[in-house]
Amino acid sequence: MSHSGQNKQGVKPKLARSYWMQDLQDLDNETCWLVKELKSYIAQEADFLPRETGLNIMESAAENHNGVSAKCRNAKVEDLWSLASFFGFSTQTFVLAVNLLDRFLAIMKVQPKHVPCIGVSCLHIAAKMVEDECNISPTHELIRISQSKFTVSDLSRMEKIISEKLNLELKAITALTFLHLYHAVIVSLTSERGEIPSIERLEAQLKACLCQLIFSKAKPSVLALSVITQEFDALQSLAMLEIVQELQRHLKIVDSELLYWRGLVAKCMTEYSSSECNKPDNKKLVWIVSRRTAQNLHANHFSVPELPTIPEGSWDESESEDSCEDMSCEEDSLCGSPGSDAEGAFFPSEFCNQGRK
């Protein structure tokens, strides 16, 4: 064996298994800290998962159902990806927005007509938590570019509802949290950096997975490791796969669980890479419009009507979807004055009164 770490055939040696994580004290300070962070986050990740019964309801909902179907939710997540790209938001902002959206939809009965406002509200909340203030566009610009029919006042009130329903637990441990930690551990444990895919590539694969509701059921730690494992498997990188196996063993991630989600990730990547997939662009969107269209867009921003009433109330415990609260709409007509901060048709009066206490 030469000093370069390659054998006579020029083949890079496999890493010796089961030696580098036997004892945390044997690791360097940085890697030891990363592994401890992973264990800490795994202990907390369940607190930020969407309620599975609510996800099941969306999965089983037909497209013509009054509630939000998986297709409706997936389409909104793709819209959020496009919006995040347009405004130059980070992957962390997008992933957090999806987490907030899923957690909210999983506990509330929502009509599809309200999903645009909820989605943009989640993205705006996430941006305010993650991005530098100077990088956050004005709220009316976010609404205008999303081509949604609600006002700045509506968005502000919806953000308050989301914050209350999620008990102000807006920060979350997500699959992206683990993806970055896993990547950092792998980088710290090998000198073969050329075999390690960039974090940007792994982030793009994770974002593609999040566009499908099924992945919201996965534990973030398992989903992130599945993305990395699938990528190393596709690259036929045995040395990197051995590091992943040691991570799995040390973090006590069950083989069957990882195998299941790894298979779904591989299927998602196959579908996503096909020419038939209309995937959101990962670059900033560029709109080329005529002067007349631009004037109409500007004018329409000030003439959009408010959305109908969203009365709230708990579902009857005897109902099959008893885990969700009601945000159904009793009025089909759009009404109210745009941009009003007074009690209007969009939000229930009890919420507005509560906000004044």
Position 285 scores a pLDDT of 47
What is the chain's mean pLDDT, rounded? 77
Burial 240-265 (b: 16+ CB within 10 A, else e): bbbbbebbbebbebeeebbeebbebb
DSSP bridge partners of 48: none
Q: What token pair was written down for 42?
A: 């795994």
Amino acid at 26: D
Q: Is 314 helix (H, G, I), strand (E, B) or coil?
A: strand
Distance CA 125, CA 160 (A): 10
The torsion defined by the Cα of 353, 355, 356 and 357, in degrees rounded to 10, comes to: 90
Residue 271 C-beta-side C-alpha neighbours within 13 Å: 12
CA 84-306-164 angle, to 5 degrees, is 65
Which residue in 158, 84, 73 sits closest to 127, CA to CA?
Answer: 84
Amino acid at 129: M
DSSP 139: H
Bridge pairing between strands 108-110 and 313-314: unpaired
Position 298 scores a pLDDT of 58
Q: What is the pLDDT of residues 77-114, one digit of tens each?
A: 999 999 999 999 999 999 999 999 999 999 998 989 99
- Is the whole-model pTM more than 0.85? no
Q: What is the pLDDT of residues 308-348, one digit of tens each?
A: 555 554 444 344 444 466 665 433 332 333 333 333 333 34
With a cut of 80, say whether residue 16 has pLDDT above it.
no
Positions of E strands within the chain: 108-110, 313-314, 325-327
Distance CA 146, CA 154 (A): 14
Position 341 scores a pLDDT of 35
Which residue in 67, 69, 312, 35 sits closest to 181, CA to CA?
Answer: 35
